Amino acid sequence: MSETPAGVAREVRLVATPEGLPEAGHLAVVEAPIPVPKPGEVLVRNRWFQVFPSLRTVIAGGVPGAPFPPLHPGDTLFGPAVGEVVAAAEGEDGGPRPGDLVFHYQGWREYAVVPVSAPPANALPDPAAYLAPGATAYAALTAVAGLRPGETVFVTGGSGAVGSLAGQIARRLGAGRVVGSTGSAAKAGRMVAEFGYDATVPRDATLRERLAEAAPDGVDVVVDNVGGEQLQAAVAAARPGARIVLIGTLAAQLSAASSGTTAPVELDTFQLIVKDITVRGLLSVDERTGAEWVERFGGWLRSGEITFPHTRIAGIDRAPEALQGLLSGRYVGTVVVEL
């Protein structure tokens, strides 16, 4: 395979731990030597990486048991990425070849070394779509909630990376009605026009009332990306036997008043009991469901039945700004930095 390129490349590091929400000034784009792959590794030149809200939590110190380690000043940020293989360790004959695209978690840098076992990223018509967290939404609706045709689905944070796909997936799986929450009238319009939603509800004091109007017969399945008052409203609107899948904690992660590492919410236990509501967290997607999602996602993308809602930010220099924009609610769908 080809030789490792010499020289330096850019990466984004945390330079200071913020008191509240991270801002662009807490990050720095710096130069570092291009890494050299060891046996069992390949060097990739990253093409795209995802900016995701859980970075708020790991920058704030992380949560024990979570899959991502905490970040400290001087550390390089990380996250889902798609890279092009450029070189392997000397004598490494197996694994991907130069030019192949692979998926990995060493984003926020121009070059990275990843295991030769990194999964290929060649089955979707747009390789950047591997950064869409649709597998999480798909697993929530199928493997966890067991969505049945005709049921009503409520998605909190319906215009975000997960929510913008959850509405479309629910529609493809036969949901009878799909309702999503958002804090923006412009986003609400796109949710109905493009993302599979029948109705939207605002994340304000009228949320419970508006949800009751949008889903007068109640909701059967909840995909919760937000927590807080929106989760409380979901419990109030739940029908007997409803299934609530907890995916995210955006209410805490996007709040400057929160530590970003806890997401307390008070739920009415009587309602959970008398309605026989199931509440379950979803931390990761198993390999079988993940493979099933890639196959179905690729087919839906090619047929035009589903779109990949995302915002592309050009250049690693703009990555710190992209994180700040994500945490302030500026974007729709998955936020992708394109290198």
| C-beta atoms surrounding 329 within 10 Å | 16
Residue for token pair 């801002």: 23
Q: Residue 111 corresponds to which tokens in the numbers above?
A: 């070059």
C-alpha–C-alpha distance, residues 50 and 38, integer Å: 26
Report which residue type is found at 109: R
pLDDT 10s digits, 162-209: 999 999 999 999 999 999 999 999 999 999 999 999 999 999 999 999
Report which residue type is found at 251: A
For the chain, which domains are there?
8-131+309-338 (3.90.180.10), 134-281 (3.40.50.720)
Q: Chain-centre distance of CA 151, in angstroms?
A: 24
> For the chain, what is the radius of gyration of the CA atoms?
21
For the chain, the average pLDDT equals 96
pLDDT 10s digits, 249-278: 999 999 999 999 999 999 999 999 999 999
C-alpha–C-alpha distance, residues 2 and 254, integer Å: 44
pTM above 0.75?
yes
Q: Residue 103 corresponds to which tokens in the numbers above?
A: 């998926």
Contacts 24+ apart (CB under 8 A), 98-103: 98/1, 98/2, 101/47, 101/127, 102/42, 102/44, 103/130
